[in-house]
Amino acid sequence: MEASQILRSAHKIAIAGLGLIGGSLALRLAERGRFVVAWNHNDRPYEAARSHRIRCVDSLEELAAGKPDVLILATPLAAMPEMLARLAPVISASTTLTDVGSVKAMVRRQVEEAGLADCYVGAHPMAGNERSGFAAADSKLFDGALWALSVEESTSYDRYLTVADMVTQGVGNAVITLNDEIHDASAAMISHMPHVVSTALSAMLVDSGNRNVEAALAAGSWRDMTRVSLTDPDRTMAMVEEDAVNVSALLRKMAARLGTVADSLEQLDGMDATEASVHGARQELRRFFQSPEPFRAYKRRESDVSCPAAHVHGQQGQAGERDIVIPKQGWQGYLLGSAQSGERVIRFTGTHAATVVTRSL
Amino acid sequence: MEASQILRSAHKIAIAGLGLIGGSLALRLAERGRFVVAWNHNDRPYEAARSHRIRCVDSLEELAAGKPDVLILATPLAAMPEMLARLAPVISASTTLTDVGSVKAMVRRQVEEAGLADCYVGAHPMAGNERSGFAAADSKLFDGALWALSVEESTSYDRYLTVADMVTQGVGNAVITLNDEIHDASAAMISHMPHVVSTALSAMLVDSGNRNVEAALAAGSWRDMTRVSLTDPDRTMAMVEEDAVNVSALLRKMAARLGTVADSLEQLDGMDATEASVHGARQELRRFFQSPEPFRAYKRRESDVSCPAAHVHGQQGQAGERDIVIPKQGWQGYLLGSAQSGERVIRFTGTHAATVVTRSL
């Protein structure tokens, strides 16, 4: 009974923005039997969308007036304030608002400014590629994807569960539940800061007197490390700016680490090198190059085990699944701890019960 | 007449070390009609090698005694001093010594210490993968590869030409000609320093309290930027140590660049931010994210044009080919300038004549 209630809870889903992410999500949810209504601001790929059982409407206001269970803002972050201001007077109390933005604290601030904090649950699907627009949309973009949901103390558990149902049952993806601060700091670590590092590498080559020699000698390591520096600089800059505080803190740490390695390397054949100082420097270097070992072990295990999304697609009872009970009080902290320990929710089995798999370092 | 002389100049080729690189090179040269003799230190994959028309001998001394035109040291860098000491008393004056090491200054020092500087020409083929040993050897490893040859003022032009013939006609690859200093600084830029950066990224995640969340959220950019940090840490450390001076200098520059970006990001919403300071910071950031543009344009052109190796494989007269005349005096500086301008030699057409293609930023 409870499980079927959950199944129904996010049936009608409205999507504002039929770009790569919004479009792929619309295709996926419609394909998997949800009732999907969409609106797009500029171009209107409505004929193509309708052929995939996506209902299309003429305005954002009409989208909200349909009283969807979930309304997903899949518009660019820069358009958020305008979207939210237009939604505020028309959104139904029964609609839960969410988004797919790559930063969460900034979006929540804008949601709060529009007076919509009560109905909001943050979301960030780990899916995408270098393309854009509905023409590039593909329901397979969400194969095996993981979603981060972001909640705060004030978030309604019912609304959280509605969005979590949409992700697990609707999209068929796994979920981790964070708060804005930890989401944004983590996104800075694995994406925003590395984009700056990649850009800095390319910029160093461009500024080098031997750039043509270097470009000629460049092989796999250089290609991999500079790939993201080749993407749209405006989009990268916007992404980094939106998470500026976290990115700058990580860049300082990164710069300090590189400086420490440079120190050790300079001690290897410095003017005042002694046997002891060379030995010490080499010890430091060995520690440094060994230090990623837990991540290496994690990646080795990852390539051994089946992807968690496989579970969601119906292969139940596989090794590593575990049932959890989500407390009524302090559920946010409980789910954050679960995510920090490496657990990923692959399905909800009741209002306060879920199944997780664990991938941890 | 001249061109056919060149064709014959590196006919008998001896290879010390039948690992991934030495083995692949032996297969390739034998496949393309050169007379190949090989020796391996530890295991003896001689049966497999012989089935590919590679003659195998029992000792390094026997390899040298056969008076090959070229003797290639394809042994690990750590084994170089011992190999060179054993070769010094037995190598014929008619044999040109070369190697395939990823650093060149250190190898030349060892060659000089062994008293073999007169017969030496440095070489570094841009080929390889994560595997090792003759079992992984494949002549296709050299498809489209580029070689850097490294020469100094004292290098014999005849010996240079012998090695260059082996690479262009023998292996079927393009060549750029550098000196040790520029080779090692360039290798530090495009490989050795980025390996440190990649390792530092992985190490930061390992040290983070949110490492499991970060590993869960990690997508394409993180995977690409940390891939080389997953390879053998001892091998990476050895590579970085062998080019320590160049790597530490580049790490300092990299750290300074990241610090400058952090400065700009902190000015965006610092306590003392003014409209002017925010505008200035944003200008700086825009300049930074735009700065890889020449490299982006180079990569776009690269994916448009056919690979230079295609020319070597016999498709003559294609667009972009140009004939050069190599001066008898100052040929080292002339060829270095050619490489720095983006030219790659795809074939020698006479003792002092060659054809180049250009790929430049």
Distance from CA of B62 to the nearest CA of A (A): 34
* String of DSSP letters for A193-254: HHHHHHHHHHHHHHH-TTHHHHHHH--HHHHHHHGGGGS-HHHHHHHHHHTHHHHHHHHHHH
CA distances from A106 to A46, A81, A111, B217 (A): 31, 11, 9, 19
Read off the CATH number of the domain in which A287 is found: 1.10.3660.10
Measured CA to CA, the distance from residue A126 to residue A186 in angstroms comes to 12
Measured CA to CA, the distance from residue B354 to residue B345 in angstroms comes to 7
Residue B298 in domain: no
Q: How many CB pairs under 8 A join A and B?
A: 334
Quick one: pLDDT at residue B312?
A: 42
CA nearest A11: which of A191, A165, A184? A165
Quick one: pLDDT at residue A305?
A: 58
pLDDT at B2 > cutoff 60: no
Quick one: pLDDT at residue A309?
A: 44
Sheet holding A322-325, edge to edge: A122-125, A146-150, A174-178, A343-350, A353-358, A322-325
Of A128, A205, A341, the CB nearest to B212: A341
Quick one: pLDDT at residue A302?
A: 83
Contact B222 A191 (CB under 8 A): yes
Q: Tell me if B165 sits within 8 A of B220, measured CB to CB.
A: no
Contact B261 A339 (CB under 8 A): no
Measured CA to CA, the distance from residue A56 to residue A47 in angstroms comes to 9
Sign of the four-CA dihedral A269, A270, A276, A279: negative
Which range marks the domain in which residue A257 is found?
184-291
Distance from CA of B347 to the nearest CA of A (A): 17
Domain count, chain B: 2
Decide: residue B322, CB within 10 A, 0-12 exposed, 13-18 middle, 19+ buried: exposed
pLDDT at A237 > cutoff 50: yes
Same domain, A169 and A73: yes
Quick one: pLDDT at residue B149?
A: 98
Q: Tell me if A212 sits within 8 A of B356, measured CB to CB.
A: no
Residue A296 in domain: no
Same domain, B39 and B164: yes
Among A241, A261, A291, give the residue marking a domain's end. A291
pLDDT at B271 > cutoff 90: no
pLDDT digits 0-9 by tens, B45-80 = 999 999 999 999 999 999 999 999 999 999 988 899
Measured CA to CA, the distance from residue B98 to residue B104 in angstroms comes to 11
Quick one: pLDDT at residue A317?
A: 43
Read off the CATH number of the domain in which A338 is found: 3.40.50.720
Give me A163's structure tokens: 């969005």
The mean pLDDT of A144-166, rounded to a whole number, is 96
Distance from CA of B181 to the nearest CA of A (A): 11
In sequence order, what are the residues at sequence separation of 6 or more whose Cβ sits closer than 8 angstroms to the Cβ of residue B1? none
Beta-sheet strands, E only, within chain B:
12-16, 35-39, 54-56, 70-73, 96-99, 122-125, 146-150, 174-178, 322-325, 343-350, 353-358
Predicted confidence band of residue A273 (pLDDT cuts 50, 70, 90): confident
Give me B302's structure tokens: 């690269």
The backbone torsions φ and ψ at residue A132, rounded to the nearest 5 degrees and listed phi first, read -155, 165
Residue A68 in domain: yes
Sheet holding A70-73, edge to edge: A54-56, A35-39, A12-16, A70-73, A96-99
Residue B8: enclosing H or E segment and its boundaries?
A: helix B2-9
pLDDT at B349 > cutoff 50: yes
Of A189, A261, A340, the CB nearest to B251: A261
Higher pLDDT, A176 or B3: A176
Residue B254 in domain: yes
pLDDT at A1 > cutoff 70: no
Strand partners, A71: A14, A97
Same domain, B52 and B75: yes
Contact B341 A212 (CB under 8 A): yes
Residue A281 in domain: yes
The mean pLDDT of A251-280, rounded to a whole number, is 94
Quick one: pLDDT at residue B1?
A: 40
* String of DSSP letters for B59-75: -HHHHHHT--SEEEE-S
pLDDT at A33 > cutoff 70: yes
Residue B10: helix, strand or coil by DSSP? coil
Same domain, B174 and B67: yes
Of A219, A225, A285, the CB nearest to B197: A225
Same domain, A246 and A338: no
**Chain A residue numbers touching B244 (CB-CB < 8 A):** 265-266, 268-269
Predicted confidence band of residue B309 (pLDDT cuts 50, 70, 90): very low
The mean pLDDT of A32-52, rounded to a whole number, is 94
Residue B300 in domain: no
Measured CA to CA, the distance from residue B282 to residue B276 in angstroms comes to 10
Contact B186 A217 (CB under 8 A): yes
Measured CA to CA, the distance from residue A124 to residue A102 in angstroms comes to 6
Decide: residue A328, CB within 10 A, 0-12 exposed, 13-18 middle, 19+ buried: exposed
pLDDT at A4 > cutoff 50: no
Contact A200 B250 (CB under 8 A): no
Tally of CB atoms within 10 A around B350: 14
Same domain, A39 and A173: yes
The alpha helices in A88-232, defined as continuous H runs, are 105-113, 157-165, 180-187, 193-207, 211-217, 220-226
Quick one: pLDDT at residue B219?
A: 87
Residue A27 in domain: yes
Quick one: pLDDT at residue A9?
A: 77
Higher pLDDT, B270 or B318: B270
Among B291, B315, B339, give the residue marking a domain's end. B291
Predicted confidence band of residue B134 (pLDDT cuts 50, 70, 90): very high
pLDDT digits 0-9 by tens, B313-322 = 444 444 589 9
Quick one: pLDDT at residue A315?
A: 42
**Chain A residue numbers touching B199 (CB-CB < 8 A):** 288-289, 291-292
Same domain, A28 and A140: yes
Contact B295 A195 (CB under 8 A): no
Residue B30: enclosing H or E segment and its boundaries?
A: helix B20-31
The mean pLDDT of A7-23, rounded to a whole number, is 89
Residue with the two structure tokens 């579970």:
A311
Q: Tell me if B46 sits within 8 A of B56, measured CB to CB.
A: yes
Measured CA to CA, the distance from residue A66 to residue A36 in angstroms comes to 11
CA distances from B42 to A210, A320, B17, B140, B335 (A): 39, 43, 9, 24, 38
Measured CA to CA, the distance from residue A204 to residue B17 in angstroms comes to 36
Same domain, B68 and B87: yes
Mean pLDDT of the residues in chain A: 92
pLDDT digits 0-9 by tens, A213-233 = 999 999 889 999 999 999 999
* b (16+ CB within 10 A) / e for A10-32: bbbbbbbbbbbbbbbbbbbbbee
Sign of the four-CA dihedral A300, A301, A303, A308: negative
Quick one: pLDDT at residue A319?
A: 59
Quick one: pLDDT at residue A272?
A: 83
pLDDT digits 0-9 by tens, B33-45 = 999 999 999 878 9
Task: Tell me the residue type at A332.
Answer: Q
pLDDT digits 0-9 by tens, A297-355 = 999 988 875 544 444 444 444 458 999 999 999 999 999 999 999 999 999 999 999 99
Residue B89 in domain: yes
Same domain, A251 and A315: no
Quick one: pLDDT at residue B319?
A: 59
Contact A254 B204 (CB under 8 A): yes
pLDDT at B153 > cutoff 50: yes
Contact B254 A204 (CB under 8 A): yes
Same domain, A222 and A255: yes
Measured CA to CA, the distance from residue A6 to residue A163 in angstroms comes to 10
pLDDT at A194 > cutoff 90: yes
User: CB pairs under 8 A, 24+ apart, for B77-80?
Assistant: B77/B101, B77/B102, B77/B103, B77/B106, B77/B107, B77/B238, B77/B242, B78/B238, B79/B41, B80/B107, B80/B110
Same domain, B156 and B198: no
Among B235, B261, B291, give the residue marking a domain's end. B291
Same domain, A120 and A101: yes
Mean pLDDT of the residues in chain B: 92
